[in-house]
Amino acid sequence: MRVHVTLRGSLAGDGQSQHRMMVNLPFGSTVEHLISHLSIESSDVQMALVNGSPVVRSSVLNNGDRVILAGAR
């Protein structure tokens, strides 16, 4: 499945305010799987939104979801 990912704050890197990408994941993947897939330290993620709503990291993602992961500024 494919999800749209936006990294914000410190997760965007290189002084950018945000970084967008498409990510392919196996069906049944969770937000925590996505974080790991992106090689982001779990403790660096301050907030996770899926389709505009706050979620817990064990939330299962669906094809086409829009995920925002934010770190500290």
Domains and CATH numbers, the chain: 2-70 (3.10.20.30)
Q: What tokens were used for 47?
A: 């907030």
3-state secondary structure the chain: CEEEEEEEHHHCCCCCCEEEEEEECCCCCEHHHHHHHCCCCHHHCCEEEECCEECCCCCECCCCCEEEEECCC
The pLDDT value recorded for residue 15 is 76
pLDDT digits (tens, 9 = 90+) for 22-37: 999 999 999 999 999 9
pLDDT digits (tens, 9 = 90+) for 37-54: 999 999 999 999 999 999
Higher pLDDT, 54 or 17: 54
The pLDDT value recorded for residue 72 is 81
